[in-house]
Amino acid sequence: MRIVVAACNRGAESAVAFIKNQVAHHEMRRQESTMNSFTSIRYSAGSVVFAVIAITTLAACAAQAYDTNYRFEVLNRPAPGMATIELVDAHTGQRVSDATLFTVKWAYGGAKNAPPHQQQIELKANGDGTFMVRADTGDTLHLTAHLPGVNDLVRGSVSVPQ
């Protein structure tokens, strides 16, 4: 699971390089092993399992690709630790007023050593198509938007300027 999270956090191209490096390292360990045929079979099976995980990881990362029809923008900083965000249609440049925005954060909880999961927190709407979010200067906000009549979520990120 650590490899899946690490690969997705790196972006598509660096995720491929990361996974290739991990496969090469695993293969080198297999070749260095000269114990017995059982060890060789075990490492070969491990290589197959690792390859399946790598392919699944790339598919998951590709499925989370950001939609280029929309973009998130920071309008202003009304108070320290706060920012006003809007969703803009990239083709028209107009604000999307009927969207519901969420911040996406990794949450830890549940059983001991349980893997983290993504948590979506709905942002407070201002009534004019803008949303308030707690954010400090330099933060990168990972956002998701739900648009009425659209099945897919709009995903993106924005950095909070000074």
Query: Is CATH 1.10.3120 what the domain over 70-159 is classified as, yes or no?
Result: no
Q: What is the pLDDT of residues 31-55, one digit of tens each?
A: 555 454 555 555 566 666 665 565 6
SS3 131: strand
Q: Where are the domains of the chain?
A: 2-63, 70-159
The lowest-confidence range among 63-67, 95-99, 136-140, 144-148 is 63-67
Instruction: Name every residue whose Cβ is closer than 8 Å to that of residue 107 and which is 6 or more positions away in sequence.
Output: 116, 117, 118, 119
- pTM more than 0.95: no
